[in-house]
Structures are given as C-alpha cells and as structure tokens.
C-alpha cells in the first residue's frame, strides 16, 4: 500500500518535477543517481524552510537592534524628564520660599504699624479722657462761680441802701467773679476743641487699624493658598518615591538618615525658616511651621534623588533582551538572580553608583563583575563576554561595565544579574518593579 501511495505521489509531482538523473562517470564505469519527484520536493521544502528561518532570524535581530536603541533613548528621556522635574520643583520651591519670606516681612511690618496705631489710639483715648475730666472740673467750677456771682449780686441789691462802702466791695467782688467766669469759658472752649481734635485723631487711627487688619487678613489668605499648593505638589511628588523604596524592601527613614550624614553636595540640606516676632503672633508661628514642613519634605525629595542614583533601580541592559529564568530554586538549587537573554556583545550598564569589588573569571559565573553600592547593597553580573572595568574603579549610573556573553556554566548567551542586600541574594525584580511607576 505505501508503495502504491508513493508511486501516485511521484506520478502527481512528475508533471511539475520530472524525474532527474545525476550521472557519475569513472574510468571503468558510469553510474547515476535517480532523483524522484518526491525526493526533489523534500529537498525544495528543506531549502525553503531554511531560507524562511534565515529571513525570520535576520528580522528579529534587526528589530532587536532597533528596540535596543529605542529603549536607551526612552531611558535617557525618562531620566532627563525626572531630573527636569526635580529642577522645576527646586525652582518653584525657591520661588515659594522667597514669597513666604517676603510675606512674613510684610506681616512683621503690618504688625508694627498696627502696634503703632494701637499705641496712638490708646494715647488719644487717654488724652480724651483727661480732657473730659478737665472739662467736668472746669464746668463744675464755672457753675459754682456763677452761683456765687448770682448770690453776690442778690446780696448787693439788698444792701445797696444800707452801706455804700460795703456795696462798693461787693461790686468789686462781683466783677472779679465775672472775669473768672470769662476766663473759665475761654479755657473750656479751648479744652473742648482739643477734645474734638483728639476724638478725630482716634477715629482716624481706628480706620487705619481696620485697613491694615484687612490687608493682613488678605495676605494670610494668599499665604495659605500658596502653602496649600506647595503642600499638594510636594505630596504628589513624594508619594511615589516613598512607595518605591518601601516596595523595594528598603526603609526610607534609614536611607534618608544615612544620606544626610554623608551629604557633601552643593548647598547642603534646606534649612528651616525662623522669624523674630514681637509677642509671638500665632498666625506667623503657624505659617512658619508650614513653611518649615514644606522645606523638610523638599529636603527629603532631594535626598531621595541622591539615593536613587546609589541604588540599583534600573535594568542593566537596554532593549533586545528577554527574561529566560526568574529568581528562585531551580533543579534543587537556588538561582540567586535573573537571566536576561540576548545576543553576545550587548552592553551591560551599571544601574547605580558604586565601586567595582571584583572583575575576574569565577567558576560557574565565567567572566563576572561585582559592584558594591551604598546601604549594604551589591550587584553581580555573570557570563560576560568582555569586562570593561577594573577592581577599585568608581562607576556611575549608566556607565558600561561589560558585554553580555556565554562564558562559564551557561546554556546560551545571556546576562546573569544578581542583587544582594547585606550579602544575602534577593529578587532583582523587587527593585525593578518598585521603580516601574516612577521612571
């Protein structure tokens, strides 16, 4: 049955692929090899499959090369955008801090003016009360004098006929009282005028105090709006950074504390704002506390930026790779890192600042580079085809430290990547995924 089927297939293919014979001639004999139609079909199919495989492989390598360049550009753009965002926030921080300082100075000036106005108002009120008291005394004296004058005139009228000398004395006394009344009336009028002027001054001072109080209240509302905007912006920026470190298993408080201890950059940490106020105004104290809180959070953001460069949150190779083996136990033994497969010669970049502590051949790893970072973190790069750094060399984030390869105990070209904390291996994807939503 199979022979009949093969014969039918040969017969069908014979119309397109006629039987061919390959002759081989020697000195003593001539031989030939028969190429049946089905044999020719198999050969053509194999040649076509090989050609198709070559086309697909070339396309994949071409696409991998393009994607590698695109990923590097995207990473560079993302890092530039992140740094630009930090610069913008720093400029806005400085601007808002300057506005806050200017606002506090205006607060102090307004408070001084209010204090002066209050002092003037109190002095005016005290002067007015003194004048009113003096007026009351003068009015009482005037009434008593007028009463005595009237009594003297009445007594004078009664005794006119009796004693002329005595009358003359009483007349003189009445004249003296009239002069006293005129003097007291003049003093009373002057005192009333001074009282009215003091009342007008007090009213003007009260109006000025109300105007300054209104300006102070509007200034407080403006400051509150500025502080609220700054607090919201800082919170939105700080939340993903704080979450990134916590998701990576790192204690943000401990990291920030260590960064502050070893900080030697330009400018230093932001210093809190302090003001000298009279009477310790609660509004100024509250605004100063809010301003210091914002400056502390901005200081933390700056410390986070420094810490990001010191911890391996980035992937060491860009584009054209694929994950082939995760972190965990494999064949009964711990696979202490992840494998990133790709063609030989892909550049391996340092994911964070650090110092090279090993650059040598090691059993199992082949050509291996080990980098020590801050906070007890170190990274390992195995199976390299080429090592581009030396022991003791300082590397920065993004520096090329080697090329991927297939050295050591390896089943194909790839990069073996490890992260160790305190000497213990952890899953590198913990750091990589933690930074996914930030970079």
Q: Is residue 382 part of a domain?
A: yes
Q: Which value, to the nearest 10 degrees, does the dihedral of the CA atoms of residues 140, 145, 151, 156 take?
A: 180
At residue 262 the predicted structure's pLDDT band, cuts being 50, 70 and 90, is low
Q: Please, what is the average pLDDT of the chain?
A: 76
At residue 275 the predicted structure's pLDDT band, cuts being 50, 70 and 90, is very low
pLDDT at 385 over 80: yes
DSSP E strands, 133-236: none
At residue 316 the predicted structure's pLDDT band, cuts being 50, 70 and 90, is very high
Q: What is the pLDDT of residue 86?
A: 74
CA dist 266 and 85 (Å) reads 19
Q: What is the pTM of this model?
A: 0.48
Whole domain around residue 375: which residue ranges? 322-435
* pLDDT tens per residue across span 405-414: 999 888 889 9
Q: Is residue 298 part of a domain?
A: no
Domain at 391, CATH number:
2.70.70.10
pLDDT at 166 over 60: no
Q: Is residue 342 part of a domain?
A: yes
Q: What is the pLDDT of residue 168?
A: 56
Label residue 334 left, alpha or beta by phi (over 0 means left) and psi (-120 to 50 means alpha): beta
> Based on the structure, what is the number of domains in the chain?
1
Q: Which helix (H) or strand (E) holds 418?
A: strand 414-421
Q: Which of 147, 159, 153, 155 is nearest to 175 (CA)?
A: 153
Helix axes 282-310, 164-247, angle to 10 degrees: 20
**Rounded to a whole number, what is the distance in angstroms from the first to the last CA of the chain?**
68
Q: What is the pLDDT of residue 400?
A: 94
Contact criterion met (CB below 8 Å) for 404 and 353: no
Q: Is residue 395 part of a domain?
A: yes
């Amino acid at each position: 049955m199979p022979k009949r089927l093969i014969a039918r297939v040969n017969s069908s293919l014979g119309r397109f692929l006629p039987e061919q014979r390959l002759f081989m001639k020697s000195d003593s004999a001539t031989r030939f090899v028969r190429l049946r139609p089905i044999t020719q079909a198999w050969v053509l199919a194999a040649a076509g499959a090989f050609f198709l495989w070559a086309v697909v492989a070339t396309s994949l390598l071409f696409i991998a090369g393009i994607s590698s360049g695109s990923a590097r550009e995207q990473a560079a753009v993302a890092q530039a955008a992140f740094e630009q965002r930090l610069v913008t926030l720093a400029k806005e921080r400085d601007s808002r801090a300057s506005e806050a300082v200017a606002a506090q100075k205006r607060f102090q000036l307004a408070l001084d003016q209010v204090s002066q106005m209050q002092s003037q108002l109190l002095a005016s009120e005290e002067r007015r009360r003194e004048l009113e008291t003096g007026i009351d005394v003068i009015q009482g004296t005037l009434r008593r004098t007028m009463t005595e004058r009237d009594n003297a005139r009445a007594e004078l009228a009664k005794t006119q006929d009796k004693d002329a000398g005595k009358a003359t004395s009483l007349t003189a006394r009445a004249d003296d009282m009239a002069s006293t009344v005129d003097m007291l009336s003049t003093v009373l009028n002057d005192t009333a005028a001074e009282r009215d002027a003091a009342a007008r001054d007090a009213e003007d001072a009260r109006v000025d105090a109300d105007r300054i109080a209104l300006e102070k209240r509007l200034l407080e509302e403006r400051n509150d709006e500025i502080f609220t905007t700054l607090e919201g912006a800082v919170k939105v920026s700080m939340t993903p950074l704080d979450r990134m470190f916590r998701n990576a298993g790192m204690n943000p408080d401990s990291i920030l504390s260590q960064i502050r201890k070893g900080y030697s950059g330009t400018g230093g940490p932001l210093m809190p704002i302090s003001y000298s106020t009279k009477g310790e105004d609660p509004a100024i104290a509250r605004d100063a506390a809010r301003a210091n809180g914002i400056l502390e959070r901005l200081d933390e953001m700056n410390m986070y930026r420094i810490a990001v460069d010191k911890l391996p949150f980035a992937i060491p190779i860009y584009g054209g790779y694929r994950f082939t083996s995760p972190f965990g136990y494999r064949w009964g033994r711990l696979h202490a890192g992840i494998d990133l497969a790709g063609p030989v010669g892909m550049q391996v970049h340092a994911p964070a600042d650090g110092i090279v502590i090993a650059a040598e051949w090691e059993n199992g790893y082949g050509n291996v580079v080990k980098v020590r970072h801050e906070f007890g973190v170190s990274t390992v790069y195995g199976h390299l085809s080429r090592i581009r750094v030396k022991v003791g060399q300082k590397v920065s984030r993004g520096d090329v430290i080697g090329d991927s390869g297939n050295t050591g105990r390896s089943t194909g070209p790839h990069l073996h990547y490890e992260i160790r904390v305190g000497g213990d291996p952890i899953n590198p994807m913990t750091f990589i995924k933690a930074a996914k939503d930030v970079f």
